[in-house]
Amino acid sequence: MRVRVEQTALPGIGVRHDLLTESGRRLGVVSHRNGRRDLVLYDPDDPDSCQHDIPLTDDEAEALADILGASLMLGQLSGLREQAAGLLTEQIAIPAGSKYVNRKLADTQTRTRTGASIVAVLRHGEVIVSPEPSFRFAAGDVVVVVGTRKGLDGVTAILADSDPDG
């Protein structure tokens, strides 16, 4: 049986993912914009009413994900990566001396110059998914890049560039 997961945007809060179990119980996860997550169990008599709201720390959420089979999902993702021959994912740190510190993603022109795409930025424990061209880098940011080996190497070289004229 395929389980349907409903995603609902919560303006100013984040996003909620809900599912209906085979036994008829509705549960969900609220992912707050600040990174906080809550496990939510709805009232069986009123599916719009929350019966239990359980805040989860990062460690608790990770442990719960492991229990529920995150490792299986990672195995499936790994298989997908193998199917996309030559497509790699890499995390690249932006050094403090990079000329792109405090500059916009668009200034790097990484996709145009290398064919690789910056799909996320890790900053102080937060993940910024699909950063906008106006996103400004900070020293120590870690970018998640998808592309060929040559493209990833090109992005590494671009972000390591400390020459303001080059």
Question: Average pLDDT for residues 65-91, to the nearest whole number?
Answer: 65
Kindly state whether residue 126 falls inside one of the protein's structural domains: yes
22-26, 56-60, 64-68, 144-148, range with the lowest pLDDT: 64-68
Q: Determine the Cα–Cα distance for residues 29 and 12; give it in Å rounded to an integer.
A: 16
Number of domains in the chain: 2
At 35 the pLDDT is: 82
Q: Determine the Cα–Cα distance for residues 142 and 61; give it in Å rounded to an integer.
A: 22
End residue of a domain, out of 52, 82, 112: 82
Q: 0.75 cut: is pTM over it?
A: no
Residue 67 belongs to domain spanning: 3-82
Kindly state whether residue 164 falls inside one of the protein's structural domains: no
Looking at the fold, whether 58 and 122 belong to one and the same domain comes out as no
Looking at the fold, whether 43 and 78 belong to one and the same domain comes out as yes
Kindly state whether residue 165 falls inside one of the protein's structural domains: no
End residue of a domain, out of 57, 82, 107: 82
Q: Determine the Cα–Cα distance for residues 102 and 125; give it in Å rounded to an integer.
A: 19
Q: Determine the Cα–Cα distance for residues 28 and 110; give it in Å rounded to an integer.
A: 37
End residue of a domain, out of 34, 50, 82: 82
72-81, 85-94, 102-111, range with the lowest pLDDT: 72-81
pLDDT (tens digit per residue) in 40-66: 999 888 877 889 999 998 888 878 877
Kindly state whether residue 65 falls inside one of the protein's structural domains: yes
